[in-house]
Amino acid sequence: MIVADASAVIELLLGRPAAEGLVGQLTDDPTLELAAPHLVDAEVGQVLRRFELRGELDEAAARAALADLDDLPIVRYPDGPLLARAYDLRHNLTFYDAVYLALAEMLDAPFVTADAALAGVPGALASVWLL
């Protein structure tokens, strides 16, 4: 199991080179699963919206990526059980990012992100992999 945040999922959905290593891992080990809190769907939608507004994606590409998100095999976990630990991490992370990290800790799984700021988070009890 690998916990992926919205930035990693975006890299996967858009087929960006940064995600090639993760794609390779998932391809090489068919038993390996991606996990994320339910929050991932709304965050990915927000990023796609932002990319469209900036002209980085057209509407059709954004909608296609959103449809692909629904097909991406991510095991989604409820946010509720993660909130207390996420709040513990509030001094070093946004609450949104902390929810992903709390899930990785709960599952004793690595946390994968494309956000370099999350690579060396103090207090993290899970390993953080940077795409």
How far, in Å, CA of 76 to CA of 73, rounded?
A: 9
Domain at 107, CATH number: 3.40.50.1010
Which of helix, strand or coil describes residue 83?
A: helix
Confidence grade of residue 63 (pLDDT, cut at 50, 70, 90): very high
* Mean pLDDT taken over the chain: 93
Give 123's pLDDT tier (boundaries 50, 70, 90).
confident
- Give CA–CA dist 41/32, Å, rounded: 20
> Which distant-in-sequence residues (6+ apart) come within 8 Å of 97 by Cβ?
5, 113, 115, 118
Domain that holds residue 70: 2-130
* Domains contained in the chain, number: 1
User: Residue 122: which pLDDT band, with cuts at 50, 70 and 90?
Assistant: confident
CB 37 within 8 A of CB 77: yes
pTM of the entire structure? 0.91
pLDDT at residue 31, rounded to an integer:
86
